[in-house]
Structure 1
């Protein structure tokens, strides 16, 4: 591995970066186990959506989070009342990830947080990189109505710090006492993957030793549903089992989903020093721009292919080494065909024969949280020597020349896997993950 020169003419040896904790809130349930079990079983977690706004724009399904009791899941009554849902989802997912990584212990003197960092963990070297594609849409809508009906004096003084998308990162830093770099990246549907990639780089190049990263979203608000529906992006399908069908010839648009995914990343040395359980390793990251259109991907897939190649190059692998692709796979016509052609371009073939899966057949499209949720599924797939199926997929589309699984592929060791995210504005991001080896 080559050394990198910094501006003081010293050299930095790029460090290996591993995953030691993960947490999830998704339509499949609360926790990583619920998510991964649904992924392996190909169990669709999309459910009916019934309200006046959705009915008016002919939308009938969504990836809703059910049975979310913030108090039972560790928030105070004040936090549950004040925090927007995307922040609550982020906190619950992060609690799970930090506990799994064994980086926190019970706090005895802080009523606002049940946690404090475990002994020996340097808070100043612990970053937070956590994003949201949209942020607090429910409060934005409610306060806008209040402004219109009751005047400016009635708008909440907490309106701004409640809705801004960086507030999830800020609240997570406060909750765990993390004093390293604290940032929020917003690149639409690529937000979760970009945040993980940014955190990976902070650790890889020595700016931090650890990072809590991921994404959260509360996209099933009336105004979001109406906006996406009128854009023509959402499916009008009423049967939840047929609504999200990535790469299927009968796909008809994406399903809005909500939730959060959180990952704890560490330098390998830091993880080994405290004898942490290592789930998988992040070995590369790539990010490109299409410079093409604000909503449509560039049809040839050139930008997506470059992002995948960048991740492979950094990891030191060839396209032929890829075990599977956890695709962005939104179940929209343009996105799926573009991503399929990008994979073929990467592999220099007319039809890609490596296994492809899309988690969105289970959860719908969780927007800013999607990349984090999919990275979790990808990491666990590598750790368990399998590739999950794509729920909803039944009939291949000739315009999507990729190999989509309808059943889990088991007993399948892999060298490396890729996880893609693509966002409005032409953002393409790819994580390269590998099983951890000493």
Structure 2
């Protein structure tokens, strides 16, 4: 297993692309923003009755990407369209040829979004309410991973592909995770960004929270009255410095580092002193080799709400100290609105271009100083400044905070060397499945071949029942949907099993990286259906707060007191595997000592109706395929941390790899090429050969069209009959995004039961051709062995 380099790989922004209310390019956006022009006006594309406002940052020009992701169908999704249009500009501006300048297998995608394709879900739900049958393709556009896989296919990018969803900080998290992918040597280039489109649910939800302003948002101003929603997309091409130099690619800016944290405070409101946000800012400085005095400009989260703006200002002061009084803090949202999951990417683009042109962009509509904010908002138009470095802040619902540090090419700052490379070990499990609670119940059901699930109108479904009293008080439980309760319960059990529960200091340094494919669909359906049928007056604010994918991770942080790096990965049926991979990278880079990595899934009626409506899950397949609810959490830890506290080590995560088929939404390579590449790369990064592996824990779940490519790939890697293949999902059901966690728990059970203590390979695949393989070893390697 190779060590993390002493000197981290430098990463640059080669090019950018955007579609926003200002127009269809990043340069159009930048020229308007630096001039302080406001692109907020009455919304025409949605019914706007009974909201607090009729205003928004709407995209009114035609948006037609070149790539036809809908396979000739009339159904389209605006969020996917925005991502593709922005990406087309960024890819063209990079002047790089996929396959010629950089191999397709060395180029990945990191995509962030808040709502994903929820507008497609709204249109489908309304059609059902009116007695119609929606085009089944609309259902395939809903998951956030659909956007990532459309981007992969549009440009033939076959490296690591994943989607991040931390509400309003989603694409900032995508930037952070992409940075680690490149630094870990898993890719030379990443297409990174995010998009979100207007939804009726978002307007109704923010209106129910009394968060929308009746006039264009005026962040940091004393007379501010709320936020303005916007829509759009932004994409950046990130390259390693070596790849940029080798290919002669342009360099707009450098990405130095980032900070992630959790508030653990409230589902929607930030900590009033900005405590969590300040930790993210400090972490961004530390990871970038910067001091507070190095920062002269911060592109702020700046929503325009009373609590957010004052909390952010407090966070900047807490993180920068006396240097904060010399810092310009402005809000791009004042001109284009809050682009939700796309905000981090679009505001990152503005920050990079500010460094390029040495201009701090302004805060529009600012009128008078609020003493609770007080920092320099750059009122009016852009201000020429000498800018070597800059920060971009994005803070999301459920207290997910992200700060990204940028620099002008060759400017001040450098990525801080990683803490000495360390093994990543598993020290605890929390398991809730239809087979029962605890890893022993899961192993016993699998070993005995006890098939889970019952028929439900053409599908087999395995439901989960569990002791919900462990989640919290009745009042606390009422604030959570089932998926959040599963997350809290499984994480509490995992922490207890790891001997890490109850230590406030340790928990403050513990983070959460959650994987989910279905996520908050129960809450989203409960919120949206009444709004579509009865109007905005039926919007329930208590339910709305749980409609973000990161809500479950936020509830874990609030319930357990974790405050470290916190993120949510939504990579379809491979979401849990993606979360384990991101957690591994964070730990190896020294960004945390310990991470909870839960994968959670629960089904709503509309979710199951969507599965039934997609031809792949037709009645014949449905009889062989079981969808299973689950909450399964692993505690991953740096080995040095585990040994320091005397924790039991159950397994070592030796390495991981993700590869894409680049075939598009809901499509995969029938040859199994992507699965094969993921397996071979994971073994290579673990320092193993196929002969070293005792078993493969397969992704196969009973869908022949998806299972056969994996089978063919396994035979090519290991030879026919060359390795034992376990297919637990065919017995226990497909726990959607929790498959990797399921297999990891069972692999440990198998080591204990049959005595074959060789390493294992765990496979997970989305149903859009994204494949992740992980290598687990039962033997805690010594420091000498791990350095090979």
TM over 0.5, shorter chain: yes
3-state SS of 1:331 partner: coil
Asked if the contact 1:288/1:307 (under 8 Å) is kept, the reply is: yes
The aligned residue for residue 66 of structure 2 is 74
The aligned residue for residue 188 of structure 2 is 209
Structure 2 distance, partners of 1:79, 1:253, is 41
The aligned residue for residue 446 of structure 2 is none
Structure 2 distance, partners of 1:236, 1:187, is 27
3-state SS of 2:394 partner: strand
1:245-260 alignment runs, 5 A limit: 245-260=218-233
Picking from 33, 36, 54, the partner of 1:39 is: 33
Picking from 149, 168, 172, the partner of 2:151 is: 172
The aligned residue for residue 333 of structure 1 is 306
CA 1:321–1:52 in structure 2 vs 1: closer, same or farther (change >3 Å)? closer
CA 1:10–1:401 in structure 2 vs 1: closer, same or farther (change >3 Å)? closer
TM-score normalized by the length of structure 1: 0.89
1:218-237 alignment runs, 5 A limit: 218=197, 220-237=198-215
CA 1:62–1:347 in structure 2 vs 1: closer, same or farther (change >3 Å)? same
1:186-205 alignment runs, 5 A limit: 186-205=165-184
Structure 1 distance, partners of 2:343, 2:205, is 19
RMSD across aligned C-alpha pairs, in angstroms? 1.9
Q: Deviations 1:378-427 (Å, cap 9, x if unpaired)?
A: 00100111101111112111110211111445442222100000000101
Structure 2 distance, partners of 1:421, 1:401, is 19
TM-score normalized by the length of structure 2: 0.50
Structure 2 distance, partners of 1:192, 1:10, is 25
Asked if the contact 1:420/1:431 (under 8 Å) is kept, the reply is: yes
- The answer on 1:432 being equivalent to 2:405 is yes
1:32-431 alignment runs, 5 A limit: 32-49=26-43, 53-70=47-64, 74-76=66-68, 81-104=74-97, 117=98, 119-150=100-131, 154-218=133-197, 220-237=198-215, 243-349=216-322, 352-408=325-381, 410-431=383-404
Asked if the contact 2:101/2:247 (under 8 Å) is kept, the reply is: no
Asked if the contact 2:56/2:230 (under 8 Å) is kept, the reply is: yes
Q: By how many angstroms is 1:81 displaced?
A: 3.1
The aligned residue for residue 114 of structure 1 is none
Q: By how many angstroms is 1:159 displaced?
A: 3.0
Asked if the contact 1:18/1:268 (under 8 Å) is kept, the reply is: yes
Asked if the contact 1:350/1:401 (under 8 Å) is kept, the reply is: no
How many residue pairs end up in the alignment?
410
Q: By how many angstroms is 1:78 displaced?
A: 5.5
Q: Larger relative CO (CA 8 A, sep 6+): 1 or 2?
A: 1
The aligned residue for residue 110 of structure 1 is none
Structure (1 or 2) with the larger CA radius of gyration: 2
3-state SS of 1:404 partner: coil
Where in structure 2 are there 5+ consecutive unaligned residues?
412-788
Asked if the contact 2:298/2:330 (under 8 Å) is kept, the reply is: yes
CA 1:391–1:340 in structure 2 vs 1: closer, same or farther (change >3 Å)? same
Q: Deviations 1:220-255 (Å, cap 9, x if unpaired)?
A: 222321122112121133xxxxx2101011111111
Picking from 17, 20, 23, the partner of 2:11 is: 17
Structure 2 distance, partners of 1:273, 1:325, is 32
Where in structure 1 are there 5+ consecutive unaligned residues?
1-6, 105-116, 238-242
Q: By how many angstroms is 1:266 displaced?
A: 0.2
Structure 2 distance, partners of 1:326, 1:128, is 24
